[in-house]
């Protein structure tokens, strides 16, 4: 398997945390790939029409995307603890938490693009504030989840989302507003899978 990736992508990090937690990290060849809304990358486009990372290229050449699909695929390849609960309330809780964390990341990346790719005279402050409002609402929702217990894709996604805020938006003091969430994150960030996947610029 090959993973088309960027070391700064929080979605790539989510996939790689899953790979480490499932013992599959050593079976994945990492292929650095630069993508952005304003760039053309024909190599990524050949496997993913959305031209995004992560994209997992299977041994038969099939491309899998996005991070949710790749993570669940990897979780199907091992015989240990399942990160995607198979059924019942535990499954829907894990998927809801993942959706909340991914939505936080979607909003954060839109702000990042607005500030770093759009020419300054064309930047829209109200747009950015609207995205930050989503980020803060998602943080409150994650705090209300009282994360903990058995690790699932929900906790992995939440940890990657919080790590991305620290990486790209250190001025966003989410810890003061959500100390219980901050304490949970301090613990999960020490897991070997998270230590091995700290984002890099």
In tens, the pLDDT along 29-81 reads 999 999 998 889 999 999 999 999 999 999 999 999 999 999 999 999 999 99
Indicate the range of 75-79, 105-109, 116-120, 130-134 predicted with least confidence.
116-120
The candidate with the shortest Cα–Cα distance to 17, out of 147, 163, 140, is 163
Helical segments of the chain, H only: 10-21, 42-45, 67-75, 88-116, 125-144, 153-168, 174-177, 179-188, 192-195
Q: Are 34 and 6 in contact (CB under 8 A)?
A: yes
Boundary residue ending a domain (41, 75, 109): 75
The number of distinct structural domains making up the chain is 2
- Structural domain boundaries, residue 108: 88-191
The DSSP code for 80 is: S
Looking at the domain assignment, is residue 16 inside a domain?
yes
Note the maximum CA span of the chain: 53
Looking at the domain assignment, is residue 199 inside a domain?
no
Contacts of 121 (CB under 8 A, 6+ apart): none
CATH of the domain at 124: 1.20.1050.10
Pair (30, 63) in one structural domain: yes
Confidence of residue 13 (pLDDT cuts 50, 70, 90): very high
């Amino acid at each position: 398997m090959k993973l088309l990736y960027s070391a700064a992508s929080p979605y790539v990090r989510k996939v790689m945390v899953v790979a480490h937690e499932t013992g599959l990290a050593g079976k994945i060849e990492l292929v650095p790939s630069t993508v952005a809304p304003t760039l053309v990358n024909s190599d990524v486009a050949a496997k993913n029409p959305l031209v995004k990372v992560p994209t997992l290229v299977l041994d038969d050449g099939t491309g899998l995307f996005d991070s949710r699909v790749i993570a669940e695929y990897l979780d199907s390849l091992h015989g240990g603890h399942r990160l995607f609960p198979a059924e019942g309330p535990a499954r829907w809780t894990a998927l809801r938490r993942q959706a909340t964390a991914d939505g936080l990341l979607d909003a954060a990346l839109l702000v990042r693009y607005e500030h770093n790719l759009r020419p300054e005279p064309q930047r829209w402050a109200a747009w950015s504030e609207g995205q930050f409002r989503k980020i803060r609402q998602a943080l409150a929702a994650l705090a209300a989840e009282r994360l903990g217990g058995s690790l699932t894709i929900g906790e992995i996604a939440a940890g990657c989302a919080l790590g991305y805020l620290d990486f790209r938006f250190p001025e966003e003091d989410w810890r003061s507003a959500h100390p219980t969430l901050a304490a949970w994150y301090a613990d999960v960030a020490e897991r070997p899978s998270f230590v091995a996947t700290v984002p890099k610029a």
